[in-house]
Amino acid sequence: MARAGITLIGLAALGALASSPAAAGPARTTCVLQAKATCAGVRLRERAVHHGDLRRANFRKADLRGADFRNADLRGADFRGANLNGADLRGAQLTAARFQNPPSRRVTRNGVRVLRCYPRCRGAKLTGANLSGADLAKANLSFVRAADARLVDADLTGATLLLAYLRDADLSGADLSRADLSYTTLRGTRRTGATWTGATCPDGRVARTRCRGL
C-alpha cells in the first residue's frame, strides 16, 4: 500500500516479520528498505518500519527518528550522522554497524569552538540488540533502553549514556574510556576486559581503571 510521500510499510501477513523490501518515501528522494539499501540523507515524513534484511544498508545522515527496526538484520549498516532519536531497535542484529561520524564543529557566541557528536540515539530502544563490535564513539545514547544488549568489544569512547538502562547487558571488552555514565543502570552487566579509563561513573566519580561498586 503506497501513498505519495509517506512510508510504505512492509509487513507480512498475520504479524510475521517483514522480509520483503519496503519503500520509504521522504520529502525529496526515495529509498528501498532492503539489504545494501542506499538511504543516505533520506528525510522521512513518517517513520520507517522494517523487520527484515537490512544488512550493509547506508543510512548516513538519514532522519530515522522513531524508526521501527525491531529484530531487523542491520549487520554492517552505516548509521554515521543519522538521527535515531526514539528509534526501536529491540532485538536487532547490529554487529559491525558503523555509528561514529567525525564531529562537526560550531562556534559559540563567545568564540569557543565545541564539538557536536553524532549519531543522535537519545531514547532509542536497544533491548536485546546485538551491537558487538559496533563503533559508538562519541554517540549520544542518553536515556536508551538497552537491557540484555550485547556490546561486546563495542567502541563507546566518549559516548554519552546519561540515565541509560543497561541492566544485564554484556560489556565484555567494550571501551568506555571517557564515556559519561552518569546515573546509568549497570546492574548485572558483564564487564570482563572492559576499559573504563576517564569514564564518568553512575555515582559521578571519574574512573581511573574502573567504576567503584560494580
Q: What is the pLDDT of residues 3-54, one digit of tens each?
A: 322 232 222 222 223 334 555 544 445 788 999 999 999 887 677 899 999 9
pLDDT of residue 127: 92
Hey, what's the cell of 121?
Answer: 540515539
Residue 105 pLDDT: 42
Strands 113-116 and 104-107, by their bridges, are antiparallel
Q: What is the pLDDT of residue 53?
A: 97
Question: What does the pLDDT read at residue 24?
Answer: 56
Domain assignment of residue 131, yes or no = yes
CB 193 within 8 A of CB 212: no
CATH number at residue 71: 2.160.20
Query: Does 67 fall in a domain?
Result: yes
pLDDT tens for the 214 residues of the chain, in order: 333 222 322 222 222 233 345 555 444 457 889 999 999 998 876 778 999 999 999 999 898 888 999 999 999 999 888 888 889 999 999 988 887 654 444 434 344 443 344 567 878 889 999 988 888 888 888 899 999 999 999 999 999 999 999 999 999 999 999 999 999 999 999 999 999 999 999 999 999 988 987 7
Q: Is residue 4 part of a domain?
A: no
With respect to residue 42, please indicate whether it lies within any of the assigned structural domains: yes
Encode 153-190: b = buried (16+ Cβ within 10 Å), e = exposed: bbbbbbbbbbebbbbbbbbbbbbbbbbbbbebbbeebb
Residue 20 lies inside a defined structural domain of this protein? no
Count of domains for the chain? 1
Domain hosting 214: range is 35-214
Is 43 part of a structural domain of the chain?
A: yes
In a domain, 150, yes or no: yes
Peptide bond into 119 cis (omega under 30): yes
